[in-house]
Amino acid sequence: MRILIIEEDVELGKALSEKLIEENYQADIAENLGDAKYYLDIRNYDLVLLS
């Protein structure tokens, strides 16, 4: 399962990503909506987490 994390707080985004990867998920982090749109344009996600 591929997850996109949208989080402005870089440290929180990294922590969420690391935990998800430990649980065998694929995770990308977008720091703002512009980055999120870029990721959504180039990849398919099963879940988008906006925190």
- Residue 23 is part of a domain; what is its CATH number? 3.40.50.2300
Q: For position 51, what pLDDT does the model report?
A: 82
Q: What is the pTM of this model?
A: 0.91
Mean pLDDT throughout 15-28?
97
Sign for the CA dihedral angle at 7, 32, 2, 51 comes to: positive
Split into its structural domains, the chain has a count of 1
Residue ranges with strand state E in the chain? 2-6, 26-30, 47-50
- pLDDT-derived band at 17, boundaries 50, 70, 90: very high
**Amino acid at site 6:** I
Q: Is the pLDDT score of 33 beyond 90?
A: yes
Q: Is the pLDDT score of 13 beyond 90?
A: yes
Domain extent at residue 38: 2-50
Mean pLDDT throughout 5-19?
96
